[in-house]
Amino acid sequence: MELGLEGKSAIVTGGSSGIGAAIARELAREGCNVAINHIHQDAQARKIIDEIVAMGRNGFAVETDVSDFGAAEEMVAAVVSKFGRLDIMVCNAGINWDGVIWKMTEEQWDKVIAVNLKGYFNYNRAAALVFKDQKSGKIVNISSINGMRGKHSQTNYSASKGGEIGLSKALAKELGKFNVNVNVVAPGMVMTDMAKSLPAEFLNAAIDETVLGRIATADDIAHLVAFLSSDKARHITGEVFKIDGGQYI
């Protein structure tokens, strides 16, 4: 299916590895120029940008902490300057720092909320400033099924991911009159390099929760994000799409 993304421009936060890298590649394959940001992943980021350029697209990477409010506006301005426009904002950058709540420190809580929730606010807000003026745009926020159901030892992560959903629904209401769509993709376990390093019992437990008997690939997530970034999804906004092989149910 042709998605009609040729010549569009996108930002993917946390785009140097895992799900973010898959999304960046997918958007480039569909015709987008893509900018990514990262923290301390210079080599990985260069590799992704090289792949984007090899597809005939424009791309660049920025090393920045997504919790930095001013840096979000600077990155959006850089994309508009270098690409001439911004059409798609995908917020994906996130961290986890797990622990049961009676052992969780204030630092653990604050850091996860700062990256996973404030970071989404920063980049959603910066994109909204552009999108409302141009009367078009797509925002896709990557949450998690654990933001919907909660997860043992992840009160900070679950709260941040649930907050992303609330943020997205409210923003969909605010931006709808400007022809801007805001949606959420909520993956279950995804077979990233980080997941591959988990003990086998954790992966097997996740597989047992699914009804399809398998773990998603990062490309499974990227395909849905590309669709939601296109005008094929022009009448979809404020929705949360679980992509988890039935893990949630």
pTM above 0.75, yes or no: yes
Residue 193's pLDDT is what?
A: 83
47-60 mean pLDDT: 98
* Residue 164 resides in a domain: yes
CA–CA dist 90, 140 (Å, integer):
5
Q: How confident is the model at residue 171 (pLDDT cuts 50, 70, 90)?
A: very high
Amino acid at residue number 57? R
Residue whose pair of structure tokens reads 């990514």 in the numeric block: 36
Structural domain including 80 reads 9-243
* Residue 249 resides in a domain: no
Average pLDDT, the chain: 97
* Residue 74 resides in a domain: yes
27-54 mean pLDDT: 98
211-232 mean pLDDT: 97
Residues 177, 23, 237: CA angle, nearest 5 degrees: 20
* Residue 26 resides in a domain: yes
The number of domains in the chain is 1
What are the CA-CA distances from residue 209 to residues 150, 191, 233, 245 (Å)?
14, 15, 29, 9
The CATH number of residue 99's host domain is 3.40.50.720
* Residue 4 resides in a domain: no
Phi and psi at residue 242, in whole multiples of 5°?
-75, 135
* Residue 65 resides in a domain: yes
* Residue 129 resides in a domain: yes
pLDDT exceeds 90 at position 195: no
3-class SS of residue 77: helix
Residues with catalytic roles: 157
The lowest-confidence range among 105-109, 189-193, 231-235 is 189-193
Q: How confident is the model at residue 223 (pLDDT cuts 50, 70, 90)?
A: very high
pLDDT exceeds 80 at position 70: yes
Helix 18-29, helix 42-54: angle, nearest 10:
20
How long, in residues, is the chain? Answer: 249
The lowest-confidence range among 36-40, 176-180, 195-199, 222-226 is 195-199
Q: How confident is the model at residue 1 (pLDDT cuts 50, 70, 90)?
A: low
Cβ atoms of residues 189 and 247 within 8 Å: yes
CA–CA dist 100, 133 (Å, integer):
44
In eight-state DSSP terms, residue 214 is S
